[in-house]
């Protein structure tokens, strides 16, 4: 009987916490907002494709072949050594190739950063309820919720800037 009472009390506290957290949760994204997020993702993917193409175009045919060989060796090695592969590529590249690669990366990052900042401003202005101001009660409930308030990890490849 004692265990049943403890189990019931635990269930009530858990239900109350879950209910409170659910009430304080921001609303779900609208279909329009989801579409905007998909568009942002498409733009980011296109920037990455352009960046990759610029980097590969900067390489001589011999250095493209070297890159393919080193990438293949890394993929099939039982104990791959990426640092050694990086040093080998760096030593082989001409200063012009290196500068073109670094320039492509810098340009892509600047474009993605600008897109991200513009999207954040747009989303915050268009959907103010999606970005509620933090308050102590919300923070306490989130921290005591199952999982300890841990955020889900971002998808691989996503860039987060402040």
Tens-binned pLDDT, residue by residue, of the chain (162 aa)? 554 545 454 555 555 445 444 555 556 777 888 888 899 999 999 999 999 999 999 999 999 999 999 999 999 999 999 999 999 999 999 999 999 999 999 999 999 999 999 988 887 777 776 666 778 888 888 888 776 655 544 444 444 443
Cα 102 from Cα 109, distance rounded (Å): 11
Q: HSE (CB half, 13 Å, CA atoms) of 118?
A: 11
Cα 35 from Cα 122, distance rounded (Å): 13
Domain ranges of the chain: 1-26+133-162, 38-131
Q: Collect all residues with Cβ–Cβ distance below 8 Å to 21 and sequence separation of at least 6.
A: 141, 142, 145
Q: What share of the chain is helix, strand, coil (3-state, %, to 5)?
A: 75, 0, 25
Model's pTM, two decimal places? 0.61
Q: What are phi and psi of 152, to 5 degrees?
A: -70, 145
Sign of CA dihedral 20, 24, 26, 28: positive
């Amino acid at each position: 009987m004692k265990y049943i009472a403890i189990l019931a009390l635990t269930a009530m506290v858990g239900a109350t916490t879950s209910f409170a957290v659910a009430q304080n949760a921001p609303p779900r994204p609208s279909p329009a907002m989801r579409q905007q997020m998909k568009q942002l993702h498409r733009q980011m993917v296109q920037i990455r494709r352009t960046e990759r193409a610029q980097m590969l175009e900067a390489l001589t045919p011999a250095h493209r072949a070297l890159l393919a060989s080193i990438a293949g060796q890394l993929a099939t090695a039982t104990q791959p050594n990426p640092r050694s592969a990086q040093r080998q590529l760096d030593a082989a590249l001409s200063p012009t190739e290196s500068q073109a690669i670094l320039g492509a990366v810098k340009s892509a990052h600047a474009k993605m950063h600008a897109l991200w900042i513009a999207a954040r401003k747009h989303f915050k202005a268009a959907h103010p309820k999606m970005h509620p101001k933090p308050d102590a009660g919300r923070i306490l409930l989130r921290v005591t919720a199952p999982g300890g308030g841990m955020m889900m990890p971002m998808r691989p490849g996503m860039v987060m800037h402040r």
